[in-house]
């Protein structure tokens, strides 16, 4: 078989030449073929080695007319889900579309101040309005999740029967195959991707205070206030630009992080006193039972971030929280890690879950006692990986 040698020549910021050499034995001559690839303006702006951009030109043509758009976030929406869906909604409204955000269920109190939050439909509560909005839409945008099951059973069924196309903007691994896609697992947040989506459309000047506030919020919450490894210089440049365009950073941090109830702090105290540490595996976990949640008047969002206290221990690289949820009859799990140990893989392999390399979640059917036993029994298998995960 003939050997082909490929040479990549970068000719400018906008193009790349691929030159192939092959020696043709029968004719005793060297064959050289050359192909020039011109990047579209989108690639120039946001390209990265992990980006998937599919159907973008077609999507832009589709959106060149005024459309009815529904934007959906995942079940138990967090700051990134709410910030990205609302940020994109404000942007599409400015582009002349009619846009509705539909989320599967309740989201934490500390996100209700977000601009546009009051017009959001909750699929479980406002089912008729949500179904109607979905049925009347020309396209659905799926934000901050990679697979339809992440919206929960009932809403998943509705989406599976949807007859128009989906567009996905998301940073989770292994995205479902939809017609239009902008996926990049190396970007810290879907909010940063929405910013870059607006940038790709040459529309940064449309970013006003509302859009800037929503996008800032999701970038802040998904990066642990700009401290996780996924935070890049580009993230900081985007954050700076969002401040210039009206995001009030002190107000946003205050609204999200300094809005605790007394009960939430007491619940945190309970969680910390339930902490168990396994130094030989550099692992720690926290548990919360339904009874403990009740005792401290648990509200949606109260356990958000609690797992990070386990990870904040010196020498700990793997942290988990197991939270009893009688409503769903499961144990809801969050995993966090420092360094190379992939909690996404761990959650996929053992707990029906997924997420990112350093932050993932999953579920377990059984009691708190059973999950503790199951989890502890898994640790020896990962001893080497855990011990070499992170060098400070
Ligand atoms: P959290 O622990 O904050 O709930 O979630 C951390 C990350 O894991 C998020 O990016 C979230 O989307 C993802 N995640 C949480 N729970 C699940 C789950 O049950 N399945 C999958 N595939 N991902 C999850
Ligand atoms: Mn996210």
Q: Does residue 111 sit within a domain?
A: yes
User: Same structural domain for residues 228 and 352?
Assistant: no
Distance 218 CA to ligand 2 centre (A): 7
User: Same structural domain for residues 247 and 287?
Assistant: no
- Quick one: tokens of 166? 């989906």
- Is 218's C-beta closer than 6 angstroms to any atom of ligand 1? no
218, 240, 257 — which closes off a domain?
Answer: 257
d(CA 335, CA 360): 5
Q: Does residue 392 sit within a domain?
A: no
- Is 363's C-beta closer than 6 angstroms to any atom of ligand 1? yes
- 332-379: pLDDT as tens digits: 999 999 999 999 999 999 999 999 999 999 999 999 999 999 999 999
User: Same structural domain for residues 162 and 241?
Assistant: yes
Distance 11 CA to ligand 2 centre (A): 36
Distance 27 CA to ligand 1 centre (A): 59
Give the pLDDT of residue 2.
64
Give the pLDDT of residue 13.
54
Give the pLDDT of residue 373.
98
User: Same structural domain for residues 140 and 270?
Assistant: no
User: Same structural domain for residues 294 and 224?
Assistant: no
Model confidence at 18, pLDDT cuts 50, 70, 90, reads confident
- Determine the average pLDDT of the residues in 79-96: 98
- Is 323's C-beta closer than 6 angstroms to any atom of ligand 1? no
Give the pLDDT of residue 40.
58
Distance 353 CA to ligand 1 centre (A): 7
What's 322's domain CATH number? 3.10.310.30
Q: Does residue 234 sit within a domain?
A: yes
- 288-316: pLDDT as tens digits: 999 999 999 999 999 999 999 999 999 99
Q: Does residue 141 sit within a domain?
A: yes
Distance 37 CA to ligand 2 centre (A): 32
State which residues form the domain around 33: 4-39
User: Same structural domain for residues 126 and 144?
Assistant: yes
From the CA of 335, give the closest atom in ligand 1.
2
Give the chain's domain count.
Answer: 3
- Most ligand 1 atoms within 8 A of CB, residue of 332, 355, 371 to mutate: 355
Model confidence at 29, pLDDT cuts 50, 70, 90, reads confident
- Is 142's C-beta closer than 6 angstroms to any atom of ligand 1? no
Res 21 pLDDT > 90: no
Q: Does residue 288 sit within a domain?
A: yes
Nearest listed ligand to the Cα of residue 217: 2
Give the pLDDT of residue 15.
63
User: Same structural domain for residues 304 and 372?
Assistant: yes
What's the chain's average pLDDT? 93
User: Same structural domain for residues 228 and 117?
Assistant: yes
What's 58's domain CATH number? 3.90.1640.10
Give the pLDDT of residue 30.
74
Model confidence at 48, pLDDT cuts 50, 70, 90, reads confident
User: Same structural domain for residues 151 and 138?
Assistant: yes
Which stretches does DSSP call E strand in 74-224?
98-103, 121-122, 139-143, 165-170, 180-184
């Amino acid at each position: 078989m003939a050997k082909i040698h490929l040479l990549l020549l970068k000719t400018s910021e906008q193009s790349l030449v691929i030159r192939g050499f092959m020696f043709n034995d029968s004719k005793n001559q060297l064959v050289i073929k050359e192909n020039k690839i011109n990047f579209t303006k989108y690639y120039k702006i946001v390209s990265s080695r992990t980006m998937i951009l599919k159907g973008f030109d077609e999507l832009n043509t589709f959106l060149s007319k005024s459309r009815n758009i529904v934007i959906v976030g995942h079940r138990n929406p967090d700051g990134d889900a709410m910030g990205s869906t609302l940020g994109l909604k404000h942007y599409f409204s400015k582009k002349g579309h009619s846009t509705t955000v539909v989320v599967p269920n309740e989201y934490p109190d500390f996100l209700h101040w977000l601009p546009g939050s009051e017009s959001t439909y909750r699929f479980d509560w406002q089912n008729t309005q949500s179904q109607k909005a979905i049925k009347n839409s020309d396209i659905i945008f799926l934000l901050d999740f990679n697979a339809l099951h992440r919206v929960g059973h009932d809403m998943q069924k509705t989406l599976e029967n949807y007859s128009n196309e989906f567009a996905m903007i998301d940073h989770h691994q292994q995205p479902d195959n939809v017609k239009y896609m902008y996926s990049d697992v190396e970007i810290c947040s879907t909010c940063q991707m929405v910013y870059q989506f607006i940038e790709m459309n040459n529309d940064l000047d449309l970013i006003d205070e509302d859009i800037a506030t929503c996008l800032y919020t999701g970038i802040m919450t998904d990066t642990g206030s700009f401290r996780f490894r996924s935070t890049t210089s580009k993230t900081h440049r985007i954050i700076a630009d969002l401040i210039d365009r009206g995001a009030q950073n002190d107000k946003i941090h205050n609204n999200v992080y300094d809005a605790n109830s007394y009960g939430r702090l007491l619940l945190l105290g309970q969680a910390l006193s339930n902490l168990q540490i396994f130094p030989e595996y550099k692992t720690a976990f926290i548990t919360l039972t339904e009874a403990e949640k009740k005792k401290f008047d648990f509200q949606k969002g109260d356990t958000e971030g609690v797992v990070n206290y386990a990870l904040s221990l010196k020498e700990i690289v793997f942290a988990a929280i197991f939270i009893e949820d009688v409503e769903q009859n499961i144990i809801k799990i969050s995993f966090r890690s420092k360094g190379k140990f992939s909690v996404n893989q761990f959650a996929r392999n053992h707990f029906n879950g997924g997420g990112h390399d350093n932050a993932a979640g999953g579920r377990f059917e059984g009691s708190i006692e059973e999950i503790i036993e199951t989890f502890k029994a898994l640790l020896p298998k990962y001893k080497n990986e855990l011990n070499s995960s992170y060098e400070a």
